[in-house]
Amino acid sequence: VVRRRLLQRYEHQPFISCLAGFYSCRWKRYQRERTEPGKCCCSMVNEFKTRPFCFSLVFLYTWGEGKNDYNGFDWYNYGNLGFWFLWSLVILIVAAVLFAYISLLLVLAMCLLAEGQQLYLHWSHKIGTFLVLGFSISSLFALSILWRDHRKTVRLSFQVTAPYLHIGAIAIMVLLSWPVALHAIRADKKVIQVIIVGPYLAILLFLFLIPLGMYSPCIREAGTLGPKPALIGHRGAPMLAPENTEMSFLKTIEHGGDGLETDVTISYDGVPFLMHDYTLRRTTNIQEVYPNETGKDASLFSWDSLQKLNAGTWFLKNKPFLGMGSLSKADQNQAMNQSIYTLSSFLRLADSHNKLVIFDLYRPPERHPYRNLWIRKILDVILKESKIKRHLVLWLNNNVRSFVQSVAPGFQHTMGKKAPIEDLLKHNIVKLNLVYTDMSSEDIRKYAEANITTNFYVVNEPWLYSLAWCSGAHSVTTNAVHLLKDLSQPLFLMTPQQYNIMWILTDLTSAFLISLVFAL
């Protein structure tokens, strides 16, 4: 019997050597020391330092849930750096690699502690953990300063992911029960056992009860889900074609979009055209045609000058969206031949397909001949040139709204921010156009009771669209009409009964497994 035990212990040494080798580069048995019972927890906290793991996990989740806004982040960097690059993807990959690295070190540490080995983190891993901690904290700090609304995005994500994060946290506690139980049994003193097991059981109890305070609009009774939100193409379908071009709007229509969104600027000679940026540098080939005027305001060009620019080649060169895929040869050829689109042509296209239109209007700068005539010029194009059906126009601009209502009755007047219902009704507002971070199922319901519908922008990710659907939104503005149109029901949708069953089964199963581990 003694010989068999010695043999088993000897055969077990290669496994421990492998763990110690990767963790501390101590591959020899004589280089290792066994830890004393009760010192394991302090050793793990002080030597391994779990803070890098926690901070890297928080940042990875935070950045991963921000995918909806990656395009805006990349264009922000383009404006500051002057060249296009998918920085958002690089940050995501780095965050994932660092989290995987620190997680592996954590697993190795837990295995060594379970074998009663003393932890000696190699200096190279100490540098690595410091880099992970520094990267995670500095990235979270930069997000809080430069992208404050991102915190609202994370809070919204909890409304759909919280039930599943709860299951994941319980699963981690089940896995941790093994080393906790092992070290509690090895401890000689009752006080040390309480110190080891007490915090673990307190956290476990908290996780068991946390669903009592959990809220998600996607947990609802069967039959109470509202209609699917309408899809409005943000500058058309910018993941499939160059934004604000005829091809982009046709792609939106092709994929069943309910409306079209754009941005309107007025040329120096009075032609309203579609352009989001104040300059032409990002979405045209102005560097080739007018290399000395790349920083000039787009509205200071004549329409004849604007017609000489190509509005599609940049799209093929930069591929501005993550995971946008490759275009067919026909689509590539079509994109290469896109030009700047006029407001008149845009409205005629929308009217011919009976699509809603909503647009931001940019007032021309000082010394522009249409500086004080811009609203009249826009109305002339809408009422006289395009003659679009008035109920298709969602009028967003708040300047001289009463004048617009008097000369162009029939528009659906839209407000770009929340306001008291009484004020909205006073100004004949029928729709709110809000940034998605302002999403609130309670506010949506209150406005709907007053016959005021809500549209949220820019919603690209299926989870965010699902949340808008469950919250009762009437429509969303999106870059991804071709993706969201295929959702037949919200993601994460379940009844309260289904969630209660999932919650109770999770708690009971985990309690049984943890009890079994401690009993054995």
Question: Comparing C-alpha atoms, which of 65, 55, 132, 53 is closest to residue 92?
Answer: 65
Determine, yes or no, domain membership for 187: yes
Say if residue 166 is in the same domain as residue 121: no
Q: What is the pLDDT of residue 9?
A: 45
Say if residue 351 is in the same domain as residue 453: yes
Q: What is the pLDDT of residue 28?
A: 59
Determine, yes or no, domain membership for 33: no
Q: What is the pLDDT of residue 82?
A: 81
Counting other chains too, the contacts that 394-401 makes at CB distance below 8 Å and 24 or more residues apart are 394/259, 394/356, 394/357, 394/358, 394/431, 394/433, 396/358, 396/359, 396/360, 396/361, 396/433, 397/360, 397/361, 399/363, 399/375, 400/375, 401/427
Backbone dihedral angles phi then psi of residue 476, each to the nearest 5 degrees: -135, 150
Q: What is the pLDDT of residue 343?
A: 98
**Phi-psi category of residue 380: left, alpha or beta, with phi > 0 → left and psi -120 to 50 → alpha:** alpha
Residues 91, 357: Cα–Cα separation, whole Å: 36
Determine, yes or no, domain membership for 189: yes
Determine, yes or no, domain membership for 35: no
Both structure tokens of 240: 């499939």
Q: What is the pLDDT of residue 7?
A: 41
* Boundary-marking domain end, from 144, 165, 197: 144
Say if residue 263 is in the same domain as residue 219: no
Determine, yes or no, domain membership for 34: no
CB 219 within 8 A of CB 159: no
Say if residue 189 is in the same domain as residue 278: no
How many Cβ atoms from other residues are within 10 Å of residue 262's Cβ?
25
Domain count, the chain: 3
CA 91 to mean position of chain CA atoms: 14
Say if residue 319 is in the same domain as residue 217: no
* Boundary-marking domain end, from 123, 144, 165: 144
Residues 135, 429: Cα–Cα separation, whole Å: 47
Say if residue 272 is in the same domain as residue 126: no
Both structure tokens of 426: 């006073």
Determine, yes or no, domain membership for 423: yes
β-sheet bridge partners, residue 116:
none
Backbone dihedral angles phi then psi of residue 488, each to the nearest 5 degrees: -90, -20
Helices (H) and strands (E) in the chain, counts: 21, 9
Low-confidence ranges of the chain (pLDDT < 50): 1-11, 30-32, 37-38, 40-48
* Boundary-marking domain end, from 98, 123, 144: 144
Say if residue 326 is in the same domain as residue 292: yes
Say if residue 392 is in the same domain as residue 474: yes
Q: What is the pLDDT of residue 11?
A: 44
Say if residue 236 is in the same domain as residue 220: no
Torsion of CA 169, 173, 174, 180, to 10 degrees: 170
Question: Comparing C-alpha atoms, which of 239, 421, 256 is closest to residue 248?
Answer: 239
Say if residue 289 is in the same domain as residue 183: no
Q: How far is CA 476 from CA 97, 277, 433, 488, in A?
A: 34, 22, 9, 16
Say if residue 297 is in the same domain as residue 172: no
Both structure tokens of 158: 């909890």
Residues 96, 91: Cα–Cα separation, whole Å: 9
Q: Show Cβ contacts of residue 381 under 8 Å, excluding neighbours closer than 6 positions.
A: 272, 343, 344, 347
Range of the domain at 21: 1-28+40-144
pLDDT per position as a tens digit, 461-517: 999 999 999 999 999 999 999 999 999 999 989 999 999 999 999 999 999 999 998
- H helix or E strand, kind and range, residue 23: helix 2-24
Say if residue 265 is in the same domain as residue 407: yes
Q: Show Cβ contacts of residue 492 under 8 Å, excluding neighbours closer than 6 positions.
A: 160, 161, 163, 164, 216, 218, 463, 466
CB 472 within 8 A of CB 445: yes
Question: Comparing C-alpha atoms, which of 348, 315, 343, 336 is closest to residue 240?
Answer: 315
